[in-house]
Chains A and B, each alone.
Chain A
Amino acid sequence: MEPALRLSGVTKTFGQTIAVQQMDLEVPRGALYGVIGPNGAGKTTCIRMIMSILFPDQGELSVLGHRSALDAKDRIGYLPEERGVYRKMRVGAFLTYVGRLKGLSAGESAARGQHLLERVKLPDTIDRRCEDLSKGMLQRVQIAAAIIHQPDLLILDEPFTGLDPVSVRLLRELILEEHHRGTTILFSTHAMAHAEELCQHVVMIHRGRKVLDEPTAALRRRFDSRTIRFEPLDPSSSLDLVRALPTVESVRGSDNGYDITLVPGADPVAAMHAVTGLIPVARIELARLRLDDIFIGLVSDADATREQLRASLQALSVEGATA
């Protein structure tokens, strides 16, 4: 079956800047893909090329079996990173207008608009002008506009940015609903936590190049953690016995206890048993997979220093989590 999306050797430059370089990507129909990477990595340029808003200098694209998204625009839902509305337009009229541009009839568009406003918990805003809504409310309207025509392919560019926690949860539910309906979903984010939570498949982009393209499950296996986090019951306990364990490579202090790095190939479960047998612990856990750690690992050879990159990504993760 023809994939929903295919990019082959796609390159885009702006003057001297290479925004996207030799990008290959294939998104199967019905999949839920996350494109992650820091700001300026080339995610939005990639998405704009997929949407035929920008055109690649080299390479080929296929969108829902067409050589250009222009031929399938009515089957694609899109929430751009830079979102906007007609400020003077009424919310219902705006949704109807977008629905009609996406090929719906006037009646159908109005009915779906009303239904979606109820779904995003804004049923009373239908006759209000867009300029009278708060930023968060407007974002929910824009999300409704992106899915009003029940697209086959839904592309969301940084959809969680600027949303309050309630709206984040609502958007997650909507994404999953669309996914269960069979829609192929591709969303970009610099908040790795969202990708970890939602995606079946993760694509990482750094400086216009794809540095990772794997299912989330496979990632978890491949980058299986060798770190155990623990907190002794008595903070003054000596860790010499733990350090002496043959499966332990190193022990270092962290914010709320210690991180134990195991030697390659060590069984983490056995190591955890061994640690609890040596000293009483208040808490012990296997460190969870973190996409930002994987990302840092993958791009550590790049000219940015590891510390700079970590600081940058942690800041973004915090921003994404609070959003």
Chain B
Amino acid sequence: MTKIWLVARREFIAAVFNRGFVIGLLMMPALLALFAVLGPRIFMPRPVHVTGDIAVIDPTGRILPALRTSLAAETLAAHRERDGRRLLAGAPPMARNMPGARPMLDAMLGADAVIRVVDPPAGPQPAIENGKVWLRADSPSARHLALIVIGDHAIAPGDQAESDYELFVPSALDMRVLDVIHDGVREAIVTVRAAEHGVDRERIEALMRVRRPSAVTVAKDVERSAGGFNIVLPLVMAGLMVVGVMVGGQTLLTSTIEEKSSRVIEVLLSAISPFELMAGKILGQLAVSLLVLVVYCGLGVALLVSFAMLGLLDPLLVLYMFVFFFITYVFFGAVFATAGAAVNDMKEAQTLMGPVMLLLMGPWIVAFPIMREPESTMAVVLSFVPPVNAFVMMLRLASTNPPPAWQALLSIAIGVASSVLAIWFASKVFRIGLLMHGKPPNLATLWRWARAA
């Protein structure tokens, strides 16, 4: 046991106490922080302020007055105010008060437009053609934003397939301005239709307004919100597991290949057994992975605390994550160690690592169907199929409809058994592969080694 500890300690020190690891460890949170700070500035559209004219050809003669109202500056401002209140109501408290929230909100509310509705331009050609000529005269100093041609049947729509209105716009028009115009026209047409049929539109809208609450999942002994953070949680947890396994596994692979190619392996094997060497290496890299996981989890918890959202995180889920991480790491660690022992260099390792990476990344393909239906047959079956069971079970546990505890425990038991089997196989292949040089083995050869050792 002392020798395993010595090997593990050396592996940990060699992996952690170097610049590359520190940079790698800090890279992801640094990138996330950078994204959090710069992301909104890069991806959030800048607020659009536009002032311009729209020309309307209204053969009904009734839509145009309504359109002047719906596109009036005060109407548009009132709509923006109402939409802004709704957005803020749905945002977390921290987000409401964070600096820069107001400009972000303005950008999210679409174009801030001042629109003047003008009569159709006169000219020698038919009205629509005259309008198009007018549109082509759009310039930054005199914006001609749109030509709207109201359809004959706009007020009393029948079964006809034609649109209720036609819309012509200049070449350089922001899509958000287009949305404002569409909304205004729609509002005007609906208002006229309601008046035509003697309907109190405001009353109907009030009657139709049903505020939708966040669903609360009521499990056997816990209740929690079914939206927002909880939708992301399964992916975050499974992602952390994959990151942890990848960090430790990759380092294990490269360090084994390095020991083999530098021929130091035989010196080690003269002092310790192959199993002790492998166990020490796996444990050492497990510590490296755990360090990464703890750092990332710590950062995650710090973020939740700062957003006053820590209460949304179930501590049992974190415990499950570490248990499943341990099982998955041991399984894949054994596989990575096997691959490292079997090949001569990283290039050869790629051939063997293809199927391994598929196993590691495969669950992501089915992640969304599983999150949507955590009790589906596929989700339940995959929860017990190693080595993907840990990921699938983690997704299900963190979902809004977690499985019963017996399923989680059975999945853990299966995971432990498969990890023990992987270690057994790896120790056999490791013993033979370490001293083998030359052509890299295929899976059949690996199996033969395992049987021969």
A51 touches B270 (CB 8 A): yes
CB distance from B284 to the nearest CB of A (A): 13
Docked Cα-Cα span, A255 to B264, in Å, equals: 44
Docked Cα-Cα span, A48 to B271, in Å, equals: 13
List, sorted by A's number, 6 A–B pairs whose CB atoms are closer than 8 Å.
A53-B269, A74-B271, A80-B267, A84-B263, A85-B267, A101-B3
Given A84-B267, A87-B258, A101-B271, 20 additional A-B pairs, CB 8 A = A51-B270, A52-B273, A53-B266, A53-B435, A70-B273, A80-B263, A82-B263, A83-B263, A83-B266, A83-B267, A84-B262, A84-B263, A84-B266, A85-B267, A88-B14, A88-B18, A98-B271, A101-B3, A101-B268, A102-B271
Residue ID in chain B nearest A68 by CB atoms: B273
Docked Cα-Cα span, A72 to B364, in Å, equals: 49
The answer to the question of B265 belonging to the interface, with a C-beta cut-off of 8 Å to chain A, is yes
The answer to the question of A78 belonging to the interface, with a C-beta cut-off of 8 Å to chain B, is yes
Residue ID in chain A nearest B435 by CB atoms: A53
Residues from chain B with Cβ under 8 Å of A86 in the complex:
14, 259, 262, 264
Residues from chain B with Cβ under 8 Å of A70 in the complex:
273
Residues from chain A with Cβ under 8 Å of B265 in the complex:
84
Residue ID in chain B nearest A52 by CB atoms: B273
Residues from chain B with Cβ under 8 Å of A97 in the complex:
6, 10
Residue ID in chain B nearest A101 by CB atoms: B271
- Please classify how large the interface on chain A is, using the bins under 10, 10 to 19, 20 to 34, 35 or more: 20 to 34
The answer to the question of A133 belonging to the interface, with a C-beta cut-off of 8 Å to chain B, is no
The answer to the question of B272 belonging to the interface, with a C-beta cut-off of 8 Å to chain A, is yes
The answer to the question of A145 belonging to the interface, with a C-beta cut-off of 8 Å to chain B, is yes
Docked Cα-Cα span, A53 to B267, in Å, equals: 10
Q: Return the contact of B267 from the options A87, A88, A142 (Cβ within 8 A).
A: A142
A51 touches B269 (CB 8 A): yes
Residues from chain B with Cβ under 8 Å of A52 in the complex:
273
CB distance from B405 to the nearest CB of A (A): 43
Docked Cα-Cα span, A73 to B271, in Å, equals: 6
Chain B residues close to A by CB (< 8 Å):
3, 6-7, 10, 14, 18, 258-259, 262-273, 435
Nearest 5 A/B pairs, CB to CB: A84-B263, A84-B264, A78-B270, A101-B271, A80-B266
B267 touches A100 (CB 8 A): no
- The verdict on A54 contacting B435 (CB below 8 Å), with A84-B263, A85-B262, A101-B6 known, is yes
CB distance from B428 to the nearest CB of A (A): 12
Residues from chain A with Cβ under 8 Å of B7 in the complex:
101
CB distance from A155 to the nearest CB of B (A): 8
The answer to the question of A186 belonging to the interface, with a C-beta cut-off of 8 Å to chain B, is no
Residue ID in chain B nearest A51 by CB atoms: B270
Residues from chain A with Cβ under 8 Å of B435 in the complex:
48, 53-54
Residues from chain A with Cβ under 8 Å of B264 in the complex:
84-86
Residue ID in chain B nearest A157 by CB atoms: B266
B269 touches A101 (CB 8 A): no
- The verdict on A82 contacting B266 (CB below 8 Å), with A88-B14, A97-B10, A100-B6 known, is yes
Contact with B along A40-80 (1 / 0, CB 8 A): 00000000100111100000000000000010011010101
Residue ID in chain A nearest B432 by CB atoms: A54
- The verdict on A78 contacting B262 (CB below 8 Å), with A54-B435, A86-B14, A97-B10 known, is no
Residues from chain B with Cβ under 8 Å of A51 in the complex:
269-270
CB distance from B271 to the nearest CB of A (A): 4
Docked Cα-Cα span, A73 to B269, in Å, equals: 9
Residues from chain A with Cβ under 8 Å of B10 in the complex:
97
Residues from chain A with Cβ under 8 Å of B272 in the complex:
73, 101
B270 touches A73 (CB 8 A): yes
Docked Cα-Cα span, A87 to B259, in Å, equals: 10
Residues from chain A with Cβ under 8 Å of B271 in the complex:
73-74, 98, 101-102
CB distance from A265 to the nearest CB of B (A): 49
Docked Cα-Cα span, A101 to B399, in Å, equals: 47
CB distance from B43 to the nearest CB of A (A): 42
Residues from chain B with Cβ under 8 Å of A142 in the complex:
267
Residues from chain A with Cβ under 8 Å of B6 in the complex:
97, 100-101
CB distance from B277 to the nearest CB of A (A): 10
Most chain A C-beta atoms within 10 Å of own C-beta, residue among B14, B18, B270: B270
Residue ID in chain B nearest A149 by CB atoms: B271
Most chain B C-beta atoms within 10 Å of own C-beta, residue among A48, A51, A73: A73
Docked Cα-Cα span, A80 to B270, in Å, equals: 9
Residues from chain B with Cβ under 8 Å of A88 in the complex:
14, 18
Residue ID in chain A nearest B266 by CB atoms: A80
Residues from chain A with Cβ under 8 Å of B266 in the complex:
53, 78, 80, 82-84
Residues from chain B with Cβ under 8 Å of A74 in the complex:
271
Docked Cα-Cα span, A85 to B14, in Å, equals: 14
CB distance from A300 to the nearest CB of B (A): 32
Contact with B along A88-132 (1 / 0, CB 8 A): 110000000110111000000000000000000000000000000
Docked Cα-Cα span, A200 to B269, in Å, equals: 29
Most chain B C-beta atoms within 10 Å of own C-beta, residue among A48, A76, A80, A101: A101
Within A136-192, which residues are at the interface with B (CB < 8 Å)? 142, 145
B262 touches A76 (CB 8 A): no
Docked Cα-Cα span, A89 to B17, in Å, equals: 12
Residues from chain B with Cβ under 8 Å of A83 in the complex:
263, 266-267
A145 touches B267 (CB 8 A): yes
Residue ID in chain B nearest A80 by CB atoms: B266
Residues from chain A with Cβ under 8 Å of B268 in the complex:
101
Residue ID in chain B nearest A83 by CB atoms: B263
CB distance from B6 to the nearest CB of A (A): 6
Docked Cα-Cα span, A82 to B272, in Å, equals: 17
Residue ID in chain A nearest B275 by CB atoms: A70
Docked Cα-Cα span, A87 to B18, in Å, equals: 14
Docked Cα-Cα span, A97 to B7, in Å, equals: 9
Residue ID in chain B nearest A78 by CB atoms: B270
CB distance from A195 to the nearest CB of B (A): 22
A76 touches B270 (CB 8 A): yes
Residue ID in chain B nearest A97 by CB atoms: B10
Residues from chain B with Cβ under 8 Å of A48 in the complex:
435
Docked Cα-Cα span, A74 to B270, in Å, equals: 9
Residue ID in chain B nearest A53 by CB atoms: B269
Docked Cα-Cα span, A89 to B15, in Å, equals: 12
Docked Cα-Cα span, A88 to B21, in Å, equals: 15
Q: Return the contact of B270 from the options A53, A85, A87, A100 (Cβ within 8 A).
A: A53
Residue ID in chain B nearest A48 by CB atoms: B435
CB distance from A251 to the nearest CB of B (A): 50
Docked Cα-Cα span, A261 to B270, in Å, equals: 48
Residues from chain A with Cβ under 8 Å of B262 in the complex:
84-87
Docked Cα-Cα span, A48 to B435, in Å, equals: 10
Residue ID in chain B nearest A70 by CB atoms: B273
CB distance from A111 to the nearest CB of B (A): 18
Docked Cα-Cα span, A85 to B273, in Å, equals: 18
CB distance from B281 to the nearest CB of A (A): 13
Docked Cα-Cα span, A51 to B274, in Å, equals: 12
Docked Cα-Cα span, A83 to B271, in Å, equals: 14
Residues from chain B with Cβ under 8 Å of A84 in the complex:
259, 262-267
